[in-house]
Structure 1
Amino acid sequence: MLRFGVHSGQQYQDFDACLTLWQRAEEWGYDWASIFDHYRPPLGGPAGPCFDGPTLLSALAVRTSRIRCAMLVSAVTWRHPAVAASIAATVDHVSGGRLEFGVGAGGPDLGYDQYGIPFPDTRTRLDMLDEACEVMRGLWTRESVDFTGRHFRLSGARLEPKPVQARLPLVIGGGGEKRTLRVVARHADVWNTLITDLPVYRRKLDVLAGHCAEIGRDMDEIRPSITFRAVLAADERRVGLRRDERLAMLPTGSSDLKEYLTFGTPEQLVADLLPYVRLGVKDFLLGLRPPVDWETMRLFAERVVPALHEAEASTVHG
């Protein structure tokens, strides 16, 4: 079944702003809400606001009751995977078994320079990601873990209590075809990436299928997920105004622009997302950043989600 969510981030000036967004997402019927795990993200400049990821996620989880609570994603550069595994298990208990924990190789973050945190080269970070996934899954599921890798070492390591969920969903973010998708094939329950053109996304699915075939894993065990942005208006008359309002908030040449799939009506967004449904995408995450576009968030929940559920049903039964 399709799931729909909001990727809220945490670049807000106060906790109440984050909490309001998450509670409204739950009230409006969303299946998922997620934050990221940056320390100093580029948006907002070197002094921009950003709450700590794991502690904020735990607080939001305890103040919601139904929605899936996700980290999308935690960079392996921030903390040892045994520490990350312990954090995830704790948040799974706090949330009553609603956590989906995302990891990735890490990307640009002003925190590396500001805080003096090491930022290894891409190849090293991908090696760390592969090892980290093995370490976390082992600690979540086995009584004792011994592990000797190039970057991490565990000796008789234990983690109690285990997560509430028998298999805590591990989300892996990224789209690199040679290395990242191989890690996805080995470890992921959910594969998330920013939206790309359909031919590019189709090729990545084919590459992932090839990696799965090489290791003997059923690709149906991995849930494809995309994050995108949109600006919606209730009717055609307001589309131009709404587009101009949002673009005026973005810095000139903002990298966020490529993440916007649709500036239009809910029906236009449905048409733009349907091809991804047909390719097998299961999770659609609406990216939001302050100031929150409540109109788009509401229209997505009220008019896009039901239409895509109906399209999925007709595909299954057709």
Structure 2
Amino acid sequence: MRFGLFLPQGWRFDLVGIDESQHWPTISNLARRVDGQDLWESVWVYDHFHTTPVPSEEATHEAWSLMAALAASTDRVRLGQMCTCMAYRNPMYLAKVAATVDHISGGRLEMGIGAGWYEHEWRAYGYGFPRAGVRLKMLEEGVQIFQQAWRDGVATFHGEHYDVDGAICRPLPLQPGGVPLWIAGGGEKVTLRIAAEHARYTNFDGTLEGFTRKSALLREHCEAVGADFDQITRTSNYNVMLGASEAEVAQKFEAHAARLSSHMDSDKVEKQLRGFRDMPAFGTPEQVVEKLTALREQGLAYGIFYFPDAAYTTETIALFEREVMPALAG
């Protein structure tokens, strides 16, 4: 299994209590820690503007600004977003931005891309909130513009939602064939079909049952469009709540709940906590290894892991590095 690490950026109330002047040092110091090792393949940020699940005045740092900054301040680790919302930026403009970031990074960029879902954020920024079918069509058209721009250095595309005419993308990305595309989302009829046609990586449901189902459907879409299922790397995201003992897990869980409770009501806190408690990266190292091994046997090749305490301590990350990663690597 390969490993990516989410950096704290505020979106999930994970920089609370840290002075805003110290946010970038906190983010960049953690990125440099990862960059100096051979354990983690990549670091990731979320493409969001407001905190979730409720908007607040807590800072949320913008994803592509962070991409450029991280590209210039790291040397080895690959850089991704999970995932960029297609509609937040014109796709030709985004193709140009990504090509530039790929050069700054020396060819280390990944392009996570999806249709978007956070309605409050869409409306607050003036994007409206089109129905799901429209958002997915925008995703499909945008991906085609990316691929044409990165392959040919120029794109002409006349679609329902995007229209470009001789738009130049120079320099081309450093990576042959363009920036690797991660199609994020598990929509069974459309998103997985788009992934079958265009993705090098997918990112969907990380539970054993969900991952197995989505994988089977992805295989069906690949067969339908003539794509090689085995050439698509299947990935999932995991919220980590890890402790050396079950008592330590409970202690960390309570501390995280307390931090969230100052920003949202109890129902929303409970929903956020279920995203830890009911997922495979919750428990002692032995428990987490057992659950993730079962997923690896079903084809999970790459996990991206979120540590809610990463801005405050690297102890949980270090425990994961010592006790979980060696058992799953390779």
TM-score by length of 1: 0.91
AA in 2 matched with 1:248: A
1:175 is aligned to 186
Which one of the candidate residues 255, 267, 275 is aligned to 1:259? 275
Q: Distance in 1 between matches of 2:180 and 2:201?
A: 7
Q: Distance in 1 between matches of 2:140 and 2:173?
A: 21
Conserved? CA contact 1:103–1:173, under 8 Å = yes
Shift of 1:178: 1.0
Which consecutive unaligned segments of at least 5 residues does structure 1 have?
313-318
2:5 is aligned to 6
User: Which deviates more, 262-271 or 65-74?
Assistant: 262-271
1:283 is aligned to 302
User: Which deviates more, 9-18 or 69-78?
Assistant: 9-18
Which consecutive unaligned segments of at least 5 residues does structure 2 have?
none
**Residues 257, 235 of structure 1: CA spacing in aligned structure 2 closer, same or farther, 3 A cutoff?**
closer
Q: Distance in 2 between matches of 1:244 and 1:64?
A: 34
Q: Distance in 2 between matches of 1:284 and 1:98?
A: 18
Which one of the candidate residues 119, 122, 125 is aligned to 2:129? 119
Are 2:15 and 1:16 aligned?
no
**Residues 110, 149 of structure 1: CA spacing in aligned structure 2 closer, same or farther, 3 A cutoff?**
same
Are 2:249 and 1:239 aligned?
yes
Shift of 1:288: 3.0
Conserved? CA contact 2:7–2:310, under 8 Å = no
Identity of aligned residues (%): 33
SS of residue in 1 equivalent to 2:83: strand
SS of residue in 2 equivalent to 1:70: strand
AA in 2 matched with 1:160: R
Q: Distance in 1 between matches of 2:86 and 2:247?
A: 46
Q: Distance in 1 between matches of 2:282 and 2:140?
A: 37
Conserved? CA contact 1:8–1:289, under 8 Å = no
Shift of 1:74: 0.8
Are 2:324 and 1:298 aligned?
no
**Residues 17, 44 of structure 1: CA spacing in aligned structure 2 closer, same or farther, 3 A cutoff?**
farther
Q: Distance in 2 between matches of 1:10 and 1:202?
A: 31
Cα RMSD between the aligned structures?
A: 1.8
Q: Distance in 1 between matches of 2:43 and 2:168?
A: 30
SS of residue in 1 equivalent to 2:324: helix
Write out aligned runs for 1:1-318 (5 A): 2-11=1-10, 12=15, 13=20, 14-28=23-37, 29-43=39-53, 45-108=55-118, 110-167=120-177, 168-196=179-207, 198-251=208-261, 252-253=266-267, 254=269, 255-260=271-276, 261=279, 262-289=281-308, 292=311, 294-309=314-329, 312=330
Shift of 1:146: 2.0
AA in 2 matched with 1:49: A
Deviations 1:120-166 (A, max 9, x none): 11110000000100100110011432211111112222210000100
**Residues 36, 238 of structure 1: CA spacing in aligned structure 2 closer, same or farther, 3 A cutoff?**
closer
AA in 1 matched with 2:28: L
* Aligned length in residues: 308
Conserved? CA contact 2:256–2:308, under 8 Å = no
Q: Distance in 2 between matches of 1:114 and 1:50?
A: 14
Deviations 1:202-257 (A, max 9, x none): 11111110001000000112111110112111234533323322333334233332
TM-score by length of 2: 0.88
Deviations 1:74-96 (A, max 9, x none): 11111111011011111101111
1:315 is aligned to none
